[in-house]
Amino acid sequence: MSRLYDSIEPNVIDAEILGRAVEEQGPQDEAGQLAKQEGISFKDVTHLQLDFQNILKIDNLWQFETLTKLQLDNNIIEKIEGLETLTNLIWLDLSFNNIEVIEGLQALVKLEDLSLFNNRITRIENMDSLVKLQIFSVGNNGINALENVTYLRRFKCLRSLNLSGNFICEHEDYKMFIAAYLPDLVYLDFRLIDEHTRELGEVKYQYTIDELKQSEAQYLSKLEEEEEKQAELDLHKAAYVEYLNGSFLFDSMYLEDTEAAKLAYLPGVGELLETYKAKFVIICQNIFEYGLKQQEKRKIEVKTFNDCLQEAIEDNQNQGSQKIIEFEKAHQMVLSDIQNTSDMQLADTKINEYSEEINQLFDTLMTLEMQIVEQIEETINNFERNIVDMVGLFVENVQGLMAQCRDLENHHHEKLLEIAIITLEKIVKSEFEDDLPDDVRALFSDKDTIVNAVGASHDIHLLKIDNREDDLFTKVNNWCAATVEKVHSDETNRNRRRVKEINQYIDHLQNELDNLDIGEVMDYSYCIC
């Protein structure tokens, strides 16, 4: 089915192929020549054509972050891969290759047009993430099961489908089946689906479609439920209290504790465990609820800070823009007047005055920037103190609650050890009448054995509590440090950008003044915001 190039050495997409393609397909005018001299950044390329290159393997496309159209048709590609970073791709042509399996498309969530025409595909699959797909061509392949087309029902935006040249097209009810099972489809095999065919299909397949709809509804309901649970879990994780709203931690303490399962046979231990678990779960629930409240407070604190910061920056930028507008309004005709004056002494005076006013504008803009830097620094310091205090209080209170969990475990351990010792004494005196499994009775061979068993169980429980506490503290402290670091980093970068903008603008003004004696007055519309 696919086009082969047996006499030519297969290629992998490498820097040479990419560079040549980008250069050939880029603008060829003066701007294009300048871009070639300076070097074209792959990150700026939106369309890339790599057809008829005898390419065997898709690779090295990770730099094309803004690519929206990719043409890889008429090659010898066997596997769809290497597209993970092309998240902005809208149009993809992989027709006339040797592809056998639809795969590797998970990241292409914006894809609208996909062509896999003339390959070796036998099944439509692995396209779930292509929620925006509108046009799909998979003609001239090996698809032979009409039922496989029902997979495409999930693509609510799909309007054009090409299946021509597949075995399924030979089925007598092919068009009716497609029209019935894909009710939103407008074009099939490049032809408009007529209403008569659609109506016949709906009647013929009504029963099976109704069953399918019911199954799909159940699936969607289950999917929504899972998504809600995941969203809820994500919220809990953001508060660092996931799985503390119940008996998860308590159950995990006993999950790997083989000794506890044996000790549970002792008289009175069952009731002791129930009381312990009930109290332990209450404390975990308290940690959980407290964590959610503190997370909400942290979110409000971050939002308030960001809002205040943005407001201050915008106000400062507006002041700077106003200064520039006033400057340009006052000096709109200055350059023209200087250039057209016949009095050289007067021209020199005006040039010096204008140059001084440019310097004054620079000082004004830089003063404004220094003011916002000081203002932001104070705001950031207050924010940092607030966040650190909030996290510190959160950690302190959770430590207290976790200490209560440990106290409960210590109390339970003492009671359990007491029951175990009493049981040992009864066994030694032959006063213990209850039947015990052999592995449980083996623990009572001597006092050291039973004490070690109870102690081992106790150590496992404490370790689980400690680990959960450490995990919570590590994550919330890491968040605090990362948040504060990002705030400082963002401000440093903002300041650098602003200073650069001011210098570029002032240089522009000064260059206009310096170049007055060599040609026309330059465009005076350059401005910063």
Structural domain includes residue 523: no
Q: Residues 79, 207: one domain?
A: yes
Tell me the three-class secondary structure of 453-497, residue by residue. Answer: HHHHHHHHHHHHHHHHHHHHHHHHHHHHHHHHHHHHHHHHHHHHH
| Phi, psi (deg, nearest 5) at residue 486 | -65, -40
Q: Work out the angle at residue 18's Cα, subtended by the Cα atoms of residues 16 and 24, and round it to the nearest 5 degrees.
A: 100
d(CA 127, CA 104): 9
Angle between helices 195-204 and 174-181 (to 10 degrees): 80
298 contacts 492 by C-beta, under 8 angstroms: no
> Is the domain of 207 the same as that of 347?
no
Does a structural domain hold residue 129?
A: yes
Q: Which long-range contacts (CB under 8 A, 24 or more apart) does 420-427 make?
A: 420/263, 420/266, 420/450, 420/451, 420/453, 420/454, 421/447, 421/450, 421/451, 423/266, 423/267, 423/450, 424/450
SS3 112: coil
Residue 235 forms part of a structural domain: no
Model-wide pTM > 0.85: no
Q: 207 and 299, same structural domain?
A: no
Same domain? 253 vs 178: no
86 lies in a domain?
yes
CA nearest to 132, candidates 108, 111, 163, 115: 111
Q: Let me know if 79 is exposed, middle or buried by CB neighbors in 10 A (0-12, 13-18, 19+).
A: middle
Q: If we measure between CA atoms, which residue out of 66, 65, 67, 77 comes closest to residue 13?
A: 77
Q: Is residue 520 in some structural domain?
A: no
One-letter amino acid of 310: Q
Q: Are both 220 and 315 inside the same structural domain?
A: no
Residues comprising the chain, all counted: 529
Element containing residue 115 per DSSP (H, E): strand 113-115
- Residue 217 sits in the same domain as residue 320: no
* Start-to-end C-alpha separation, the chain: 58
Q: Are residues 304 and 163 in the same domain?
A: no
Q: Which of 178, 181, 174 is nearest to 216 (CA)?
A: 181
User: According to the model, what pLDDT value does residue 522 have?
Assistant: 39
Give the Cα separation of 127 and 155 in Å (integer): 9
The reply to whether 277 and 171 lie within a common domain is no
Q: In what order do the strands lie in the sheet with 69-71?
A: 47-49, 69-71, 91-93, 113-115, 135-137, 160-162, 187-188, 191-192
Amino acid at 390: M
In a domain, 525, yes or no: no
Same domain, 284 and 188: no
Please check whether residue 468 is in contact with residue 423, taking contact to mean a CB–CB distance below 8 angstroms.
no
pLDDT in tens, 138-172: 999 999 999 999 999 999 999 999 999 999 999 99
pLDDT tens-place string over residues 378-420: 999 999 999 999 999 999 999 999 999 999 999 999 999 999 9
CATH number of 157's domain? 3.80.10.10
23, 45 contact by CB (below 8 A): no
Work out the widest C-alpha separation in the chain, in whole angstroms: 127
Percentage helix, strand, coil for the chain under 3-state DSSP, each rounded to 5:
60, 5, 35
Judged by DSSP in three states, 134 sits in coil
In a domain, 240, yes or no: no
pLDDT tens, 27-73? Answer: 554 444 444 544 567 888 999 999 999 999 999 898 898 999 999 99
Would you say residue 526 lies in a domain?
A: no
Residues 257, 221, single domain; the answer is no
| 399 and 332 housed in the same domain | yes
Residue after which a domain boundary falls, among 225, 258, 278: 225
Q: What is the mean pLDDT of each run of 10 residues along the chain (529 residues)?
A: 52 78 67 49 88 92 93 96 95 97 96 98 96 97 94 96 96 94 95 94 92 90 93 96 96 92 91 96 97 97 96 95 90 76 78 88 95 96 96 97 97 95 87 81 89 94 97 97 96 96 92 65 43
How many structural domains compose the chain? 2
Give the domain extent around 469. Answer: 247-515
Q: Are residues 199 and 293 in the same domain?
A: no
